[in-house]
Chains A and B, each alone.
Chain A
Amino acid sequence: MHLSWLIIFTIMLVIAVVAFSYALNKKIRILALSVKEERYDNPATRFKNFVVQVLGQKKMLNEPYGVVHFIIFWGFIFIVLGELPLIFEGLFPDYSFFFLGTNPYFYMIKDTMTALVVIGLFGGAYRRWVLKPVRLSRTPEAAIIVILVIGVIVTEWISSGAKVALEPDAAYSLAFMYHAFASMFSGYSTETLMAIRDSFWWIHMVILLGFLVYIPNSKHMHLLAVHPNVYFSSLKPIGAQITTMDLEDEELTELGVARIESFTWKQLLDSFACGECGRCMSNCPATLSGKPLNPKQLLSHELKDHLLEKGAMMNKYGLKSTGEDNEEELAKIAESNPEDYAILMKKLIGDVVAEDEIWACTTCMSCQVQCPVSNEHVNKIIDMRRSLVMMDSNFAPELQTTFRNVENNFNPWGVEYSERANWAAGLDVGLMSENSDVEYLYWVGCAGSFDARAQKVSISVAKILKAAGVKFAILGSEEKCCGDFIRRTGNEFMYQTMVAENVELLNGYKVKKIIAACPHCLNTLKNEYPDFGGNYEVIHHTQLIEELIKDGKLVLNTAGEYEPQRIVYHDSCYLGRYQQEYKAPRALFNMVPGVELVEMDRNHDKSFCCGAGGGRMWMEEHIGERINNMRVEQAFDKNAEVIGANCPFCITMLEDGVKDKTADSEKMVRVVDPAELIAKMI
């Protein structure tokens, strides 16, 4: 036993562990400033998510480069395991570490994994610094970690290589990297080999412990935070994650989030878990169209940096919040320490996150669907919108007009509400108020009721349902805006008012099954109404039509002349990512003779938003490129005559984009819903 080694190593270890714990504790105390949130239910499901996403790296592997991360992740685990015999046998050379230290297969796997990690790191570094993809940042932090990890691995190879060269050990018989280094050292004297073995053992330990301390002090906190973050990630469907506020609560004085400590711990943990991979920004319509919102930047820098700075300051003064309840305390700090006060008073909205940034989000959910650490970006944005709208009444004037339209006429267009069923004139569509003994309620939605273009889809759907003998009715002038855009623009108060009225009506008719032609209505009715006592089985018209055809209830007439047409399909966010329904609309298009259905480059869960979601439909787009035009250009790349869609808002946005981007009005690309083509075949 090397007594002096043991003493020195112990001192180093204690210092490193203390420094590590200090830094980690500082972050935990900052997180503890936040608001409570219940995320402890369903441990089995949570553990499964952890296994799939962390151990299995499922989302990482959705992209080819994810393989590198997979290797690094598992390589790390073997490096850590390998440290056990390395440290133990270094300090107690006469003994072998239990099991690992004597197992040649362990060393074989470890050598394989570490060799792959080094190759992977070089590949990753080449990509980051030579190919320079936009989504990866080229920061010193990113470089330091690569150097540290390679340092850890290579020093261990050298030290163990020298050890093998000194005296072959059966345990290392399959450790090819050790042997490679040992053969490099052939011919070296025993003293030299011992010096190499010992000095690199120490260099290795210094790098290793330095690495340990570096983790909680850098963005590589990711390595620690990702585990709880994935375990505690939301178990709700992606369309049900907006929190329902208790507006009856008399205590409630602040609505939404205007201060960083008003987020919940899980909302803030997201920032620490972020690995800065940039997947979220690489398909974000706001980022790509040049708006000030970048989901990666928002989480990994704006919110995190502010949290660390302000949180540390709050802990310094023992403040639990910087709201009105602490006014006196804050006034004292303003007197005694104006600089600290300035940090405490930095405004989350305005100083840290710009208003335009908050309004740029279309709630397309691409960020969350792509994020490998299961971060939840959108909720934070909605919470900040809630503060702007409900506390400060601060939002675009055109949105104000829209809110008023809903207040007065229950639809965002502001058309007189009694005209809601005018589209159905002459179609012999029943009203629930006349006969509610039907299988389905057809929820037409505001667009389908009032927008001239969407009305055509409503008419097609009604004709198809009638032809298939489906027993259904509509609500007519009793139907009111579902509230989707109202909630997503932060007006939770008005949303809940609309929902209460709609739920009362629907439950009064004992509605069980609903057909929605608008994916936005579909999502809120299906995923959000249950919080308000509205429990319905909701289906999109394309899903039902596909079923009806499959079951033989709707027979299509394929005789006759059909011109060949090339249709490029656009997945709406709210049917695609929100409902994971990619099949049904495609199946319907494919049933039409002569149709050749093609995909855009960005399709399925990587589809690109049309720009209308999250209330953006009702707001001017002043900054950057128009998102709908970008999507239309992506469609034009496929040289199709028609763009296929499934959502009334997508249809409007895409048609506007087509008009904007087509010089020759004779050659206008059409935008159609599959129901319109199917209706012509009955």
Chain B
Amino acid sequence: MNIVVCIKQTFNTEAKIVLDSNGKIEDKGVNLIINPYDEYAIEEGIKLKEKFGGSVTVVSMGGTTVQAAMRTSMAMGIDKGILISDPALENTDEHGRAVVLAKALSTIPYDIILSGRMAIDDCSSQLAIRLAEILNIPSVSSVIKLEIEGTQATITKEIDGGTKIVEVALPAVITTTKGLNEPRYPSVAGIMKSKKKELKIVTLAELGLSSEDLTPKMNVVKHSIPDARKAGQKIAGEPAQAAQELARLLREEAKIL
């Protein structure tokens, strides 16, 4: 089975987001991780390979820092990787990236494409779906259980307040979410092996694309940071009096009563 896992490198979940003087998100000094939802995709890809044989390829986009994330996925058990690296990728959006990704995938065989339900940084949940559209194959989102028999997949996915079971024919794009599996922690033996695995770096030109193909369909107007949470207030005194004081504060200061 040819398994492809698309991952994104994101800010660490605890990272404090600050904007630089141009209103752009400052990435200096931020620790980077694999997008947590993509980890479920990696784990599921490795599990499928363990069950059905074949190979798992990890695909990602970005600069050299992304290699660290890809090596980690290889330490977990992914066989090889393709990194699309090009300065032009800076100035595009989900549409442009989906075009690039689709082009890259057209160079390799795939039976199933796995990716996280969304990236925790921009939360747009678009890329995988757009990719399926371009490749003209089905996609199922927020998957918490995946069973494959032959070329048929039986999938349990999360829906609001419950679950839904669907069947699709492979190849298909599957987006993964919490509950699907427990991503493994790479062993050091795995880390050592990962250093020798193949990681191919390709540019847009090598894929036969130009920056025109990447013209964004949307435009970011502004980033803003939520107001800092104010410290709590402790109301002293007898319970009855304190409750009265609380009511007064809620009405007069917070103005929510």
Do A and B interact with each other, yes or no?
Answer: yes
A residues touching B (Cβ–Cβ < 8 Å)?
247, 252, 255, 389-393, 395, 397, 400, 403-404, 408-409, 414-419, 491-493
Given contacts A393-B187, A395-B185, 9 further A-B contacts (CB under 8 A): A252-B192, A255-B189, A389-B188, A390-B187, A390-B189, A393-B185, A415-B14, A417-B14, A417-B31
Given contacts A417-B31, A418-B29, A493-B191, contact A408 B14 (CB under 8 A): yes
A400 touches B12 (CB 8 A): no
Q: Which residue in chain A gives the minimum CB-CB distance to B15?
A: A416
A418 touches B12 (CB 8 A): no
Give complex CA distance A254, B46 in Å.
Answer: 23
Q: Which residue in chain B gives the minimum CB-CB distance to A409?
A: B14
Given contacts A418-B29, A493-B191, contact A393 B186 (CB under 8 A): yes
Binary contact readout B172-183 vs A (1 if CB under 8 angstroms, 0 otherwise): 000000000010
B188 touches A409 (CB 8 A): no
Interface residue B234 (Cβ < 8 Å from any Cβ of A): no
Chain B residues contacting A400 (CB-CB under 8 Å) are 185
- Nearest Cβ on chain B to A655's Cβ, whole angstroms: 22
Given contacts A408-B13, A415-B14, contact A392 B187 (CB under 8 A): yes
Binary contact readout B3-17 vs A (1 if CB under 8 angstroms, 0 otherwise): 000000000111110
A416 touches B16 (CB 8 A): yes
Among B182, B187, B192, which residue has its beta carbon within 8 angstroms of that of A397? B182
- Nearest Cβ on chain B to A147's Cβ, whole angstroms: 52
Most A Cβ at <10 Å: residue of B12, B15, B16: B12
Give complex CA distance A418, B14 in Å.
Answer: 10
Chain B residues contacting A247 (CB-CB under 8 Å) are 188
Interface residue B184 (Cβ < 8 Å from any Cβ of A): yes
Given contacts A408-B31, A417-B31, contact A393 B13 (CB under 8 A): no
Smallest CB-CB A-B distances: 3 pairs: A390-B188, A393-B187, A416-B14
Binary contact readout B48-67 vs A (1 if CB under 8 angstroms, 0 otherwise): 00000000000000000000
A409 touches B187 (CB 8 A): no
B14 touches A393 (CB 8 A): no
Q: Which residue in chain A gives the minimum CB-CB distance to B14?
A: A416
Chain B residues contacting A408 (CB-CB under 8 Å) are 12-14, 31, 33
Main secondary structure of the interface of A (DSSP, over half): helix
Give complex CA distance A391, B186 in Å.
Answer: 9
Interface residue B138 (Cβ < 8 Å from any Cβ of A): no
B16 touches A255 (CB 8 A): no
Binary contact readout B188-212 vs A (1 if CB under 8 angstroms, 0 otherwise): 1111100000000000000000000
> Can you report 7 residue pairs joining A to B where beta carbons are below 8 Å apart?
A255-B188, A390-B187, A391-B189, A393-B186, A393-B187, A418-B16, A491-B188
Chain B residues contacting A403 (CB-CB under 8 Å) are 185
Chain A residues contacting B191 (CB-CB under 8 Å) are 493
B14 touches A414 (CB 8 A): yes
- Nearest Cβ on chain A to B179's Cβ, whole angstroms: 15
Most B Cβ at <10 Å: residue of A255, A408, A409, A491: A408
Chain B residues contacting A389 (CB-CB under 8 Å) are 187-188
- Nearest Cβ on chain A to B139's Cβ, whole angstroms: 29
Chain B residues contacting A392 (CB-CB under 8 Å) are 187
Chain B residues contacting A390 (CB-CB under 8 Å) are 187-189
Most A Cβ at <10 Å: residue of B15, B184, B185: B185
Give complex CA distance A181, B52 in Å.
Answer: 85
- Nearest Cβ on chain B to A200's Cβ, whole angstroms: 65
- Nearest Cβ on chain B to A394's Cβ, whole angstroms: 8
Give complex CA distance A417, B187 in Å.
Answer: 25
Give complex CA distance A491, B33 in Å.
Answer: 20
- Nearest Cβ on chain B to A498's Cβ, whole angstroms: 14
Most B Cβ at <10 Å: residue of A255, A397, A418: A418
- Nearest Cβ on chain A to B188's Cβ, whole angstroms: 4
B184 touches A393 (CB 8 A): yes
Give complex CA distance A492, B189 in Å.
Answer: 12
Give complex CA distance A417, B30 in Å.
Answer: 9
Give complex CA distance A390, B15 in Å.
Answer: 28
Chain A residues contacting B12 (CB-CB under 8 Å) are 408-409, 416
Most A Cβ at <10 Å: residue of B16, B189, B191: B189
- Nearest Cβ on chain B to A42's Cβ, whole angstroms: 33
Give complex CA distance A403, B72 in Å.
Answer: 14
- Nearest Cβ on chain B to A442's Cβ, whole angstroms: 22
- Nearest Cβ on chain B to A393's Cβ, whole angstroms: 4
- Nearest Cβ on chain B to A255's Cβ, whole angstroms: 6
- Nearest Cβ on chain B to A581's Cβ, whole angstroms: 34
Most A Cβ at <10 Å: residue of B13, B14, B16, B182: B14
Chain B residues contacting A404 (CB-CB under 8 Å) are 185
Q: Which residue in chain A gives the minimum CB-CB distance to B189?
A: A391
Q: Which residue in chain A gives the minimum CB-CB distance to B186?
A: A393
Give complex CA distance A392, B185 in Å.
Answer: 10
- Nearest Cβ on chain B to A206's Cβ, whole angstroms: 56
- Nearest Cβ on chain A to B232's Cβ, whole angstroms: 14
Give complex CA distance A656, B31 in Å.
Answer: 33
Give complex CA distance A389, B184 in Å.
Answer: 12
Q: Which residue in chain B gives the minimum CB-CB distance to A250?
A: B192
- Nearest Cβ on chain B to A406's Cβ, whole angstroms: 11
